[in-house]
C-alpha cells in the first residue's frame, strides 16, 4: 500500500561494486548496521566491529551464507572502552592494508545513567567519543586509500540536543532521552568539523569525505532500555521502517556515485536534509572537537 511505501522512504539505487575495497561497520550484528553490512557484503569486503563477539560472528556467518561472500569478518570492538578501541585499530591496521569506507553506526539509546570504562556518560561516550577516537586512529589509512568515505549515523533527535559543556557527563542532571539527543547532535557537529578540516588540509580531489545521516524511525532493538518506547514501537510498528529500509541512507552515503565529492552534509531518505541551527554552529563544533581531544588524550590537528 502507498502508506507503507511512504513509511519505507528513500531507497539507495546505486549498484556500485566494491571489489578490492574494505568497509568497517560498527555495531553491525543487529538492526540497521546488520542490514547495511548485508547489502555492502554483496559488493565487497566487510568487517563487522561489535562488542559482543558471539553475536558478531553469528551475524557474519549468516551474511556470508546469504551473500556467498566469504570476506565478511567479525572483530571485537567495545566503543565504551578506549583500550578496546585502540586494540581494534591496532589489529586492523596490522592485518589489513586497505580501508575505503568507515561507517560509524553503533549506538546506545535511552540507557539508564551509567559511565564507560573511561568515565564518560554512556551515550555520549559510545555514540560520539568512541567513534571520534576510532575515526582518529583509522584516518591515515583512509587517506592513503582515498577516495574514501566516513559515514556517521546520527538522528533526527539531534534537533532536541545541545552540547552542555558545563555538564558533559550528566553528573549534575541527567535525562536519558535528552542525553541521546545531545550525543546525536555531537555526531552532526563532529561530521561538520571533520569535513571542514579534511578540506582545509587535504584538497578536495583527494576525496576523503565525511557525511552524517538520519536513518528514519526504525523497528529495531535500539529502544530496549525503555519499556514505554518498546511498547510504543510494537503498537506502531506498521509506521516504522524495517532495518533494511532504515539502512538505505547509510548505504547511499557509503556508495552513491553522485556523493563522491560531497562532504560535511546531512542526509535522510537518501537526500540532503535539514540540520538544526545548533547542528550548524561552527563555534560549538570547534569547541566540541577540542574538548573531545582533551577527554581522549589525543592531539588531532
Task: Report the candidate in 89, 79, 72 with the shortest Cα–Cα distance to residue 23.
Answer: 72
* Total residues found in the chain within this entry: 301
> Distance between CA atoms of 242 and 233, rounded to whole angstroms?
12
44-50: strand order across its sheet: 72-76, 44-50, 18-26, 101-104, 148-153, 208-214, 266-268, 271-272
Catalytic residue among 174, 180, 252, 274: 180
* CA distance linking residue 40 with residue 105, whole number of Å: 14
Buried b (16+ CB within 10 A) or exposed e, 111-144: beeeebebebbbbbbbbbbbbbbbbbbbbebbbe
Catalytic status, residue 180: yes
User: Is 85 in contact with 130 (CB distance < 8 Å)?
Assistant: yes
CA distance 266 to 254: 13
Cell of 171: 553528573
The residues annotated with a catalytic role in the active site are 180
Amino acid at each position: 500500500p502507498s502508506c507503507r511505501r511512504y513509511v519505507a522512504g528513500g531507497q539507495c539505487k546505486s549498484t556500485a561494486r566494491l571489489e578490492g575495497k574494505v568497509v568497517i561497520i560498527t555495531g553491525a550484528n543487529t538492526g540497521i548496521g546488520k542490514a547495511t553490512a548485508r547489502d555492502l557484503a554483496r559488493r565487497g569486503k566487510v568487517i563487522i566491529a561489535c562488542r559482543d563477539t558471539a553475536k558478531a560472528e553469528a551475524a557474519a556467518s549468516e551474511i556470508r551464507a546469504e551473500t556467498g561472500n566469504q570476506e565478511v569478518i567479525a572483530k571485537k570492538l567495545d566503543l565504551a572502552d578506549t583500550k578496546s578501541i585502540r586494540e581494534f585499530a591496532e589489529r586492523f591496521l596490522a592485518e589489513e592494508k586497505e580501508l575505503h569506507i568507515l561507517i560509524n553506526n553503533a549506538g546506545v539509546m535511552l540507557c539508564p545513567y551509567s559511565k564507560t570504562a573511561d568515565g564518560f556518560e554512556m551515550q555520549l561516550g559510545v555514540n560520539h567519543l568512541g567513534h571520534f577516537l576510532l575515526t582518529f586512529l583509522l584516518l591515515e589509512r583512509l587517506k592513503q586509500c582515498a577516495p574514501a568515505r566516513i559515514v556517521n549515523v546520527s538522528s533526527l533527535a539531534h534537533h532536541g540536543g545541545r552540547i552542555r559543556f558545563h555538564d558533559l557527563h550528566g553528573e549534575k542532571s541527567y535525562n536519558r532521552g535528552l542525553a541521546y539527543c545531545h550525543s546525536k547532535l555531537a555526531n552532526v557537529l563532529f561530521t561538520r568539523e571533520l569535513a571542514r578540516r579534511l578540506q582545509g588540509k587535504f584538497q578536495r580531489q583527494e576525496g576523503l569525505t565525511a557525511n552524517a545521516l538520519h536513518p528514519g524511525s526504525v523497528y529495531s532493538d535500539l529502544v530496549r532500555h525503555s519499556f514505554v518506547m518498546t511498547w510504543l514501537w510494537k503498537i506502531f510498528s506498521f509506521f516504522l521502517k524495517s532495518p533494511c529500509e532504515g539502512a538505505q541512507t547509510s548505504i547511499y552515503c557509503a556508495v552513491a556515485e553522485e556523493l563522491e565529492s560531497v562532504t560535511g552534509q546531512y542526509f535522510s531518505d537518501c537526500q540532503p536534509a535539514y540540520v538544526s541551527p545548533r547542528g550548524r554552529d561552527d563555534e560549538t563544533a570547534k569547541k566540541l572537537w577540542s574538548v573531545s581531544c582533551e577527554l581522549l588524550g589525543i592531539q588531532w590537528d
